[in-house]
Amino acid sequence: MTTHPTTVDTGAPVVVRLETTMHAPLATIWDLHTDIAAWADWNTDVDRVEYAGPLAPGTAFRWLTHGLDITSTVHQVVPEERIVWGGPAHGIDGIHVWTFQETAPGTVTVRTEESWSGEPVAARSTEMEQVLRQSLEAWLASLKAKAEAVAGTAAAAERH
């Protein structure tokens, strides 16, 4: 039986934790974020994705970001609450956890945390942490912009 990690590796040389508040329905944010095949449509840092589903532990997907060709495996899915994936890429072993918490109707706190371990990370942990932090900040900003635009479009349509 394969075990799937459900948390980041807190002992890894690099661990980055970030959060933001998004003004969109939880279902909208969750649907955008878990439609892995469509990431490149709204996240400019993702060049392409190969994903056939289903969204379940053990499902792998391949994606290209920042010149890195990555194959990740879904480790955990709790609908509209949490998704965890990870895998090796170029000597880096990453574990990525996303959580979604509705704090008020139409307001969601999205948290992301990711750990990186492996020889390249240990050799240049400060630089690697900066790279990861910038990548996660951009991802959160892209998700927020897309979710809020979709929510705004839906709200405008309801008013007409």
- pLDDT tops 50 at residue 160: no
Q: Work out the number of other CB atoms within 10 angstroms of the CB of residue 85.
A: 24
Give the architecture-level CATH label for domain 15-34+76-159. Answer: 2-Layer Sandwich (3.30)
**43-96: pLDDT as tens digits:** 999 999 999 889 999 999 999 998 889 999 999 999 999 999 999 998 999 999
- pTM comes to 0.92
What pLDDT score was predicted for residue 156? 56
Report how far residue 1's alpha carbon sits from residue 121's, in angstroms, rounded to the nearest whole number. Answer: 29
Q: What is the mean pLDDT of residues 112-132?
A: 97
110 to 57, 91, 107: CA distances (angstroms): 21, 28, 10
